[in-house]
A and B are shown apart, each in its own frame.
Chain A
């Protein structure tokens, strides 16, 4: 076989196959086989890791107060059978009252929102009114982490009976479920131009549409739930980076200003400082704007501080996610770049979850004070101080010791 020169003019490897030549032989064939085997090994190991993340089962031990577990598709067939056909936990109160919907997991990279909702589903008992809880509002986004972000695929919370592991997620739905993205995302129905990637962001897709993308159909399904169940009060749980000005606050639709101001004032006086912000009327796609505009529900969005999300953070690890400690974010604070305080104590997950549970409880109490004919009263849910004292894990129950009929999977 005549040897060809390499493209760089150097001598070709003996036994190599040039263009149009037969199979490589000898040492070149061995080299190719070894490299292919190594590539296959990398493919299999990474594939197993990604598959485990995507299909990890998260058990939920139902609170005695949960009267039914339904699927989101019960309100809109367009999401039936999709990854976003999430569980909807219904807690009927002993006495009549208002209906409140709390959703966690809009952005699954903000775990305090999911965990606070989890505590509701596993512990809350409604004494008056009805509570509807969702733990994985954008379930697709719980099955992927940010590309290039080196996020951990999961995180583990210590409990009284062992450890409980949760999927770590992303801000956007998994591209495996909705892809490709457009050059520009044109929000429906406002026509506002938004960032291309936000077409997979649940909190840029409200109020959705019945014939839209998976994300739009998901928000449409939630809007159907809100309208058909007569939801009076809607709460969307989030976390934010400390370099983002909308942090440690309640963002309120016009219809909820009085309630949000009342909750902010009461919490700041008794438990922790929390602000109140108005939902911008011309910024579209967000739940605090669109739910209020397109239904009769008062819509609120809660933000807790999460240093894990800050662009100036150090190593992106499970420990950093749960302790909220980061020396680089502390340094950013000293440089005056943050909108929230940050020191070596960080923002532990217990503090962040406790802020959410207390804000939910205070919202129920304030709602009841403002609407005594439609009360919301809840037992079994820990407040801020309780969560910090005993840890989030204390309110997560052991699925192995619960009756099988009272355990569902997220």
Chain B
């Protein structure tokens, strides 16, 4: 069970990293300042989780 949970947990971190990359990429490509602000704000909790701070 612990092994299974560790695997699932690892997959979740991979998912978080993937979404974080997508958000950063969209921030880079966006042409609207409202969207850019939104991407920056949404990206922060993903980075905090990846850095294991929150």
- Total A-B residue pairs with C-beta atoms closer than 8 Å? 68
Assembled-state Cα–Cα distance A223/B51 (Å):
34
Q: Contact between B31 and A213 (Cβ–Cβ < 8 Å)? A: no
One digit per residue, 1 when the CB lies within 8 angstroms of any chain A CB and 0 when it does not, for chain B 1-32 equals: 11001001100100000000000000111011
The answer to whether B12 and A47 touch across the interface, beta carbons within 8 angstroms, is no
Given A46-B54, A50-B48, are A18 and B31 neighbors across the interface (CB < 8 Å)? yes
Give the interface segment out of A34-42, A255-263, A310-318, A398-406. A34-42
29 A-B residue pairs with Cβ-Cβ distance under 8 Å, sorted by A, are A6-B31, A6-B32, A7-B32, A13-B33, A19-B29, A24-B28, A31-B33, A32-B27, A35-B27, A35-B33, A35-B36, A36-B40, A39-B40, A39-B43, A39-B44, A42-B44, A43-B48, A46-B48, A46-B53, A47-B48, A50-B48, A51-B53, A54-B53, A176-B52, A176-B54, A179-B9, A180-B8, A211-B1, A211-B2
* Chain B residues whose CB sits within 8 angstroms of the CB of A39 once the complex forms: 40-41, 43-44
Q: Give Cα A176–Cα B1 distance, bound, in whole angstroms.
A: 18
With A16-B31, A43-B44 already in contact, the answer to whether A32 and B36 are too (CB < 8 A) is: yes
Nearest Cβ on chain A to B37's Cβ, whole angstroms: 6
Closest chain B residue, CB of each to CB of A37: B40
**Closest 9 A/B residue pairs (Cβ):** A39-B40, A16-B31, A47-B53, A50-B54, A50-B53, A12-B31, A13-B31, A35-B36, A35-B40
- Known contacts being A47-B51, A179-B12, is A35 close to B37, with CB within 8 Å? yes
Q: Report the Cα distance A16→B44, complex, angstroms.
A: 23
Chain A contacts for B37, CB-based, 8 A: 35
Q: How far is the CA of A13 from the CA of B29 in the complex (A)?
A: 12
Q: Is A28 an interface residue (CB 8 A)?
A: yes
Contact of A213 among B2, B41, B51 (CB under 8 A): B2
List residues of chain A with CB within 8 A of the CB of B47: 43
Question: Does A212 count as interface, using CB distance less than 8 angstroms?
Answer: yes
Q: Which of B5, B31, B52 has the most CB of A within 10 A?
A: B31
A388 part of interface (Cβ distance < 8 Å): no
A37: min CB distance to chain B, Å? 10
Query: Nearest Cβ distance between residue A316 and chain B, in whole angstroms?
Result: 18
Chain A min CB distance to B43 (Å): 7
Say yes or no for A362: interface residue by CB 8 A criterion: no
- A266 contacts across to B, CB distance below 8 A: none
Query: A19-B29, A46-B48, A213-B5 provided; 19 other pairs, C-beta below 8 A?
Result: A7-B32, A12-B31, A16-B31, A17-B29, A17-B31, A31-B36, A32-B28, A46-B44, A46-B53, A47-B48, A47-B51, A50-B54, A144-B54, A176-B52, A179-B12, A180-B8, A211-B1, A212-B2, A213-B1
